Structure 1
Amino acid sequence: MSHSISLLARIVASLAIAAGCAISSAEEPKFESQIRPILREYCLDCHGATETHEGSLDLRLVRLMVQGGDSGPALVAGNPDASLILQRIESDDMPPGTLKVSEEKKKLLRAWIESGAPTNRPEPETIGPGIPLTDAERAYWAYRPVAKPSTEIQIDGDRIRNGIDQVLAQAMPQGLRFSPDAPREALVRRVFLDLIGLPPSDEQFQHWMQLAESNWYEQLVDSLLQSPHYGERWARHWLDAVGYADSDGATLADAERPWAWRYRDYVIASLNQDKPIDRFILEQLAGDELAGPKQGDWTPTQIELLTATGFLRMTADGTASGDNSQEARNKTIADTLQVIGSTLLGSSLNCAQCHDHRYDPLSHEDYFALRAVLAPALDPVAWKTPSERLVSLITQAEVELSSKIEMEAQAISAQRATKEAEFIKNALDKELMKFEEPLRTMLRSAYESPVDKRTEEQKMLLDKHPSVNISPGVLYQYLPEAAEELKKFDATIAETRAKKPAETFLQALSEPPGHLPVTKLLHRGDLNQPTREISPGKLSVLVDETSNKHFNDDDPSLPTSGRRLAFAKWLTQTDPPNPLFVRAMVNRVWMHHFGKAIVATPGDFGKLGSPPTHPQLLDWLALDWIEHGWSFKHLHRRILLSTAYRQSSNRNPTGGSIDPDNRFYGRRDLQRIDAEVLRDSVLALSGELKPELFGAPIPLQEDEAGQVRLDPAQPRRSLYAKWRRTQPVALLQAFDAPVMGVLCESRPSSTVAPQSLMMMNNEFLLEQSEKIAKRVISQSGASNTGASNSESAPQAASGWQLPTAPASPWRYGTGTLHKETGKVEGFSAFSQQTQGRSHPGVQVPDATTGWVFLTESGGHPGNPAYPAIRRWIAPESGTVEISGSLSHGSQNGDGVIGSVSSKLGQAGSWRIQAGSVSTAVANLAVEAGDAIDLVLECGQQETSDSFTWTVKITLNPMASQPGEPARNSIVFESAIGFRLQQEDTSALGRQIIAAWKHILHRFPADQELAVLSRFVPAQLELLYREPQRLSSGSTPTSQVLTNICHMLLNSNEFLYVD
């Protein structure tokens, strides 16, 4: 009996069986329905599932129990106390281990033996290997043929819009009804996020809110199903189910898969084309068999078919990363079967790898029959590592072009070699002239002799005079000009070779023609214990006992075995449909639309999984899908047009009391948006999102905190992230994106504290909040029309009492720096402020003053008579310390001169060109109202004189009265001071309302406006009082707007779909 069954699995199965274990006095227990499940759970692993039986005891049939084993008969019908099997079970000798048969089941076994150990039907005279299937096992819901609902679908045009609604309504408890449809604004956002994974733009939202046609909703669904972004959104769901990753995994090396992304792009394109599911699966399981052999160049159709087989190359495979053992190969094959079982069959096949499945009719032989299907392509003996499986896409024309280009490069290389030899000869001649004869001739002879032909005397001579050992590596020491000329040759050679067409590859699966390896059943899954040969075949439970369950070993019409193609056709057959496949597929689609599946365990339809909440709905959807040509888009449309989908998520007391968990779909469940949708939505709101489809993955980086993030220079959809197993992207992982092991059957939807911390502190989200704010500012003049719950919001916000910026100690202008006194004379303040610049004239350059202007971090001087001057006015008396850095970037022009000037004269001066210098000044005394000028002059000319000069002035105030303690220092930063100079609060209220509508597609409610009217002035007061709190480049108003944008991104209204 099994030693290894998991505690949880036994407990769950025991509870499931216990419901049928009550002993009825009117009905005696039967072997097939009540006793065999107990034996299968606890005993048959050792006494029936394998070809050899522990103690020679076989418990699969009653007569075999009577026959017994090494210890004699195990069963004496009618006499429980004489039955060895019951003795061993009741004494807890069996099964071995800590988990024992429950008392309830022991009573059931005793009652069965006492009643004569009856069976429902005569037992067969012979029995093959493994555990035979029973009628009850075949009748389990998952294996039954797909059936139409028992009643006709009747549409009433209101709440019963299609068959989905009728099936659900019929199953509802008395008193439960569908909720009203959600408001239009909620439906628009819901369908956008569901079908394309992006929020509607402001223009799109306004369009769908204002569309007057009665079928606006149907138009919305059809429009989004035609969007190219539909394929991106739904490809992510499929990639989860197949275990997509851009790295091999399995070992710590986690080698990258540079071409896996082509399979991802295949999935996107297939979904956008609405490729029928039967064809979609055929291509992924047997694309190479459909493609046929290469004849010349690969055709576009062949490339697509080969790309599809990436489905079978997604699991971890470390055989090219340090572990090419039989165990590693076997693990890759087992994981591939797990993906097939979970995704395409809704079955936990891996449980049958070592023995018959304990709870489901999936035999050990079934497992290896499916493994035999893959064997010609995934042969653990004739194994190919991931790199060996790559398929080159280079064409014959590209090969010929590369050859031609290489010949050109070789010709240039030959010229270089000739030139190099000439240089070396010249250098040698020059060096030898330093030696007298006959030593000169002796050294030349030694040098020119082949290395392997030199005499000992010659070697010693050259060692004694190393300067004569001139080689290409040291030639530059003798003839520097030669090295430069050879570098030009190298550059030309590199440029020439760069013209070669790049060779690209597919990560595909294919099998050699005529390769038909034998598959043997492994006793208990042990590679070292192969037993009998197994033919490729189907799951026995899905095949009638009178039918052939095997596929042909070899299809004579194909150069390959045809096994995978036969398997794919069996999976996708329609007459009758494969019940596991079609139910598994429909269940997954439903799960992604509703946030919960009809079968809550999409990868396990067996007894250890969850039973279906609505089995009739599962079958109705499956048959409707098949009748409409396996169209994914039809299935989406059918679901989205149902009342069940359109419902509001609002709870009502009646529904809450009847169905608190919403098992019967009396309302819509709130769903948190997926990790990728979160990131993509933020990028869309900031205007940063690049909409291009397809291509190589976005590189990974680490931020300052060591968290993995996506390269910010590539703001593409998260679908295109590099999915490396050992480097999950921190933001995506926090919101339940899978760290890919084998596959992701379904994502959890967690609500944990680290998510809040991530939303508040993540660098990406902080940056994007600022960009959203800037976008709102730039578009704040746009119309505020559209649906809202508070149309007066913009007017209300315009009436907020906002504080104004305090008087600034900074001034910006020009004047004259007196060369003798070092003081500024004739300071004239700039009158214009545009585009982050302060300048004197209407435009820059000005006819009189030239290019003079200042920015928060620097600026440009005018002509020699008009330097750029940043003036600071001391608010009180004390001493000043100045720290800062002056930089000039251009190699052109004649540089700039920076000076610090006060009423005492020049305190410091620095001349600089194309460099940087510290501009520190210490202990400069000032009185209240004194000016300190930061003067920047050009040299003789004002060309190329852009500069950066940011300073920090620290004022140490004088004590108010003699003997009083010193007061705290006050810090003034030039960059912050400039930004405060630009401050204008008049538009802030309107901008906040615009941001609210941009992010949440509505105006703030009255209560929210009341909170904002208090929060915004308080925030401005704080930032005016403590400007050091401002982030780089922000003003108080832009910081407040950024903070509100960030707050809205943290709201449940943004993170959840109604």
Structure 2
Amino acid sequence: MVIKVNPVGLKNKAVFTSILTMLFIAAVALNSCSNENNYKQASIPDQVSYNFHIRPILSDNCFACHGPDANKREAGLRLDTEVGAYAALNDNPNGHAIVPGKSNQSEVIARIFSEDVTETMPPLESNLSLSDQEKQLIKKWIDQGAIYEKHWAFEPPVKKDIPLSSLSDWNQNPIDGFVLAKMKENGLTPNPKAKKNFLLKRLSLDLTGLPPTSEEVRSFNSGEKSWEQMIDLYLSKPAYGEKLALLWLDISRYADSFGYQNDNIRTQWPYRDWVIHAFNKNFPYDKFLKWQLAGDLFPEPNREQLLATAFNRNHKITEEEGVIHEEYRVEYVLDKTNTFSKVILGMTMECAQCHDHKYDPISQKDYYNLYAFFNNTPEKGFEGGAGSPVRAKSPLMWVDTEDTEGILNFINHPDSNKIAVSIMQDLKDSIRPTFILDRGIYDAPTGEPLNPKTPDIIKPFSKDLPKNRLGLVEWAFAEDHPLTSRVFVNLIWQEIFGVGLVPSSGDFGMQGKLPTHPELLDWLAVEFRESGWDIKQLIKLIVSSTTYQQSSAISKETLAIDPDNTYLSRFPRLRLHAELIRDMVLASSGLLVDELGGPSVKPYQPEGLWEASSSGRGELNIYRQDKGDKLYRRGIYTFIKLTLPPPSLLIFDGSNRDICQVNRNRTNTPLQALALLNDPLVLEASRVLAEKLVHELKDEEAAIAEAFVRILGRLPKNEENQLLLGFYAEEVLRFENSPEIASGSLDIGESPASKKEAVRTAALMQVIVALYNLEEAITKT
């Protein structure tokens, strides 16, 4: 849908911006809606699969009472295993829940088809019910032998043959063969390739998080540089590491304060510099993770390997006097365990902290066996109050000038002071015993001491591996490990397409979503491992595909068949992440200070937020906004206080970083439109860009066209050009009649302002504000 605005007919800027706000909200709402009435119910397949058809039904409706959790199991019946399902019923030794090949003798069928509310399953009080299609699926599966399959995610990935395609110009690489085959299965055809301007903007945002420069746009459009050359260019830029680091900082819980009530500053930012450095140096994924999870356990770890282990210590840490030491120490170990299970295994193992997992075959003992790998550290639950001048907790390392001039030369340390960073370490002379904690309570250990061990259902832990974190990470990167490569490949796919091939990127378990393209996921997982865990190669493979280069246009026919773009017959329209919206504004205006790394900065923020909260101590009691170049750093460097994260990030669904987060929501709210219309940074950027263009380009049409290219990545169409020129003319007239308003509108932001040609500058500034508020400006299309 195209919404047109003619600003010439509007009386003033307030009216224009109000209408623009309403249109912005309406446009994004229309763009995100799906037509449920057009949903076509799938037919019963010829061959019913337990993994892809039956298990999701049982998991949603039956496993809570008849699944892995023995404590909640009803009637002694277990339906998640063939042994349990085929066994004689407790109350009827001659009856069986499932009789393979004989649905008419299976009690499950009698119950789900029963019209007696006292007999039907799921029971009435559960508020669950099966559709007719689901009932018929179960019946057909039983008649076909009721064959149980191991959960797909627990089987090692295998490369299957790439489907052949009749579209010779479609298959640019193996990804396209798998995607096109799935499209054909669902009656879809691919979109044509997107126009060059949209393609380049898409690529630049995906690989660097920044819009393409005017020079890059013209170079690519003219054919001077090819698609592959642009890919290589963006992958080689330092901004690539900053863009990919955003994902990893969400995963690693990176923040600039300790969290909890007495929240004070901590200096983990050298770890952030390391993450950016590691991505830019293209560390293989196995090396990247081994250093973070167990760098301290190497035979002779160097300073960089020790710094990388800060990954384990980014969790919240209390500074509140009077807390119970052991309670918080256990909380930190739980956090490490849950983070490992989510980012490496893609599993919701934290459910087993208090009881056996209700849906996945993970027992409470399995959970605490994994917990034991992280339970041998000397860290304390409470080490000292918020008044401590040391901005890290033991074990820690000090980063000094000698480090930053040597092996840690990637750290951007602006002065000669030492920096304390919390790192990982194990006890030297003893091993802390681990027990199952009854109901997950820190002071309720039960049973015999446990040894570090991994869940057998995923992959048994080899007796040849050391029973520590180094052995754990070696286990995770074994050639036949079913999850590690799949989970990371899925995260990268999610970063680019908005949704992973497994939509539930943090849950590959039985309650998670099934992969939309299972053969493609496995092919990429094996390819990634065989490439030597080469992250840049994986990303280049994805963005080189025709799948990636499709137009994002939506037809009525496609929308009816595939409203959520599950089968990728178009490129998804995705709003930028919060930090990247800031980056786009800074970069396009020329305000961006592209300094790499360094301490976090405090940009503009509404007055009184921190002061109204009692959660800060010391430096974090009052918000002290930075000055000068620090105001114009990329969003990745914005200071994150855990108890009160930056509102400019949260409004656009940024992570608050208090736990491991593998994906972000994308919402559309009026607050977002109001932020873009009123944020001092957006207004300042508009003023700065207007000043620059008025100075360099005397012709207003050329100035507007240049602003359009900088912000939207393309030249304006003739109709767009006329609309913007009309709006510009109206604003010139308004400011000529009220020169004091023109001058006052330029008094925004702390960068030096020029009052020369105030009327032209103020008018062009309003045009640029309007451009920043277009949906296209903050959307990857």
Same fold (TM over 0.5): yes
Query: 2:435 maps to which residue?
Result: 520
Q: Does 1:772 align with 2:689?
A: yes
Q: 1:390 aligns with which of 369, 384, 396?
A: 396
CA distance in 1, matches of 2:561, 2:87: 55
Give the structure 2 partner of residue 570 of structure 1. Answer: 475
TM-score of the superposition, structure 2-length normalised?
Answer: 0.76
Quote the offset at 1:166 in angstroms. Answer: 0.3
CA–CA distance in structure 2, aligned partners of residues 676 and 536 of structure 1 = 39
Tell me how far apart the structure 2 counterparts of residues 36 and 600 of structure 1 sit (CA, whole Å).
17
Which structure is higher in strand share? Answer: 1
Higher relative contact order (CA 8 A, sep 6+): 2
The alignment's TM-score, normalised by the length of structure 1, stands at 0.57
Q: Taking structure 1 as reference, are residues 38 and 701 closer, same or farther at Cα in structure 2, changes over 3 Å only?
A: closer
Q: How far apart are the structure 2 equivalents of 1:144 and 1:529? A: 34
Instruction: Please say if 1:730 is aligned against 2:647.
Output: yes
Shift of 1:326: 2.7
Post-superposition offset of 1:764: 1.4
SS in 2 for 1:1030: helix
Listed as ranges, the matches of 1:430-445 within 5 Å are: none
Question: Which of 550, 558, 561 matches 1:647?
Answer: 550
1:355-403 Cα distance to aligned partner (Å, 9 max, x none): 21111112211101100111112777999995222223469999xxxxx
1:1049 deviates by 0.7
The alignment partner of 1:646 has SS state of coil
Task: Pick the aligned partner of 1:532 from 440, 444, 448.
Answer: 448
CA drift of 1:993 comes to 3.3
- What is aligned with 2:535? 632
In structure 1, the partner of 2:759 is 1036
Matched with 1:351 is: 351
Match of residue 457 from structure 2:
541
Look up the SS of the partner of 1:645 in the other structure. coil
* 2:69 aligned with 1:42: no
How far 1:34 moved relative to its partner?
A: 10
Superposed, which structure 2 residues align to 1:141-540 within 5 Å?
141-151=152-162, 158-173=169-184, 175-212=187-224, 216-249=226-259, 251-258=260-267, 260-290=268-298, 292=300, 302-318=302-318, 323-377=323-377, 387-393=393-399, 502-527=417-442, 528-540=444-456
**2:754 matches 1:1054:** no
Q: Equivalent residue for 1:889?
A: none
Stretches of structure 2 lacking an aligned partner (at least 5 in a row): 1-41, 45-53, 98-106, 140-144, 386-391, 405-414, 611-622, 747-754
Question: What are the residue-to-residue correspondences of 1:75-90 with 2, within 5 Å?
Answer: 75-78=92-95
- Residue 1010 and residue 521 in structure 1: after superposition, are their counterparts in 2 closer, same or farther (change >3 A)? same
Q: Distance in 1 between matches of 2:725 and 2:84?
A: 85
* SS of equivalent residue, structure 1 residue 345: coil
Quote how far apart the aligned CAs of 1:615 are. Answer: 0.7
Label 1:199 to 1:563 Cα distance change in 2 as closer, same or farther (>3 A).
same
Letter in 2 for 1:502: N
Alignment partners' CA distance in 1, 2:403 and 2:690: 52
**Whole-Å Cα distance in 2 between the matches of residues 178 and 158 of structure 1?**
11
Say whether the 8 Å CA contact 1:522–1:529 is kept in structure 2: yes
Q: Which residue does the alignment assign to 2:728?
A: 1016
Q: Which moved more, 1:583-592 or 1:57-66?
A: 57-66
CA distance in 1, matches of 2:250, 2:694: 39
RMSD: 4.2
Give the C-alpha shift of residue 728 in structure 1. Answer: 1.8
Shift of 1:662: 1.9
- Give 1:735 shift: 1.2
Q: 1:722 to 1:345 in 2, by over 3 A?
A: same
SS state at 2:710 partner: helix
Q: Which residue of 1 aligns with 2:711?
A: 999
Deviation at 1:772, TM superposition (A): 1.1
CA distance in 1, matches of 2:350, 2:292: 21
1:764 to 1:278, Cα distance in 2 relative to 1, 3 A = same
Classify 1:539/1:753 alpha carbon distance in 2 versus 1 (closer, same or farther; 3 Å).
same
Partner SS for 1:193: helix
- Structure 1 distance, partners of 2:276, 2:83, is 57
In structure 2, distance between residues paired with 1:270 and 1:725: 25
Distance 1:1057 1:44, change over 3 A: closer
Deviation at 1:202, TM superposition (A): 1.8
Which residue is equivalent to 1:677?
580
Whole-Å Cα distance in 2 between the matches of residues 622 and 516 of structure 1?
36
- Distance of 2:684 and 2:162 partners within structure 1: 57
Q: Name the CA shift for 1:98/1:354 in 2 (closer, same or farther; >3 Å).
A: farther
Higher deviation after alignment, 737-746 or 633-642: 737-746
Q: Judge conservation of contact 1:760–1:1050 (CA < 8 Å) in 2.
A: yes
TM-superposed deviation, 1:994 = 3.1
Higher alpha-carbon deviation: 611-620 or 991-1000: 991-1000
Rounded Cα–Cα distance in structure 1 between residues aligned with 2:334 and 2:731: 59
Which of the numbers 577, 584, 594 marks the counterpart of 2:497? Answer: 594
Per the alignment, in what secondary structure is the counterpart of residue 184 of structure 2? coil
Shift of 1:761: 0.9
SS at match of 1:688: coil
Q: In 2, Cα distance between the equivalents of 1:395 and 1:710?
A: 27
Decide whether the 8 Å contact of 1:160 with 1:643 is kept in 2.
yes
Distance in 1 between residues matched to 2:701 and 2:243, nearest whole Å? 36
1:615 maps onto 2:327 in alignment = no
Give CA-to-partner distance per residue, 1:12-71, whole Å, 9 cap, x none.
xxxxxxx999xxxxxxxxx9999999875226788x359xx99xx966699999999xxx
Q: Please give the secondary structure, in 2, of the residue aligned with 1:342.
A: helix
- TM-aligned CA deviation for residue 279 of structure 1: 0.9
Deviation string, structure 1 residues 1013-1034 (Cα, Å, up to 9, x no partner): 4333322222222334324355
Whole-angstrom distance in 2 between the partners of 1:684 and 1:996: 13
Residues 1:38 and 1:1016: Cα distance change in structure 2 (over 3 Å): closer
Report % sequence identity: 29
Contact 1:142 1:579 in 2 (8 A): yes
Unpaired runs of 5+ residues, structure 1, are 1-18, 22-30, 113-119, 122-134, 293-300, 399-499, 556-561, 782-986
The 3 A distance-change label for structure 1 pair 381 and 665 is closer
Alpha-carbon distance in 2 for matches of 1:764, 1:1022? 24
SS, match of residue 154 in structure 2: coil
SS at match of 2:362: coil
Q: What residue identity is the alignment partner of 1:519? A: T
Partner of 2:409: none
CA 1:1050–1:395: 2 relative to 1, 3 Å: closer
Contact 1:319 1:328 in 2 (8 A): no
In 1, Cα distance between the equivalents of 2:582 and 2:456? 45
Equivalent position SS for 2:457: helix
Equivalent position SS for 1:1020: helix
- Deviation, structure 1 residue 531: 1.8
**2:175 aligned partner, one-letter code:** I
Contact 2:249 2:272 in 1 (8 A): yes
8 Å Cα contact 2:452-2:468 kept in structure 1: yes
Matched AA of 2:232: D
Q: Give the Cα separation in 2 of the matches to 1:306 and 1:368.
A: 26
Conservation of the 8 A alpha-carbon contact between 2:159 and 2:523: yes
Q: Residue 389 of structure 1 aligns to which amino acid in structure 2?
A: P
Equivalent residue runs for 1:893-1042 within 5 Å: 987-1032=699-744, 1033=746, 1035-1042=758-765
Higher helix share: 2
Supply the AA of the counterpart residue of 1:674. H
Describe the superposition over 1:276-312 as per-residue Cα deviations: whole angstroms up to 9, x where unpaired: 11111111110100163xxxxxxxx611111111111
- Other structure's SS at 2:169 match: coil
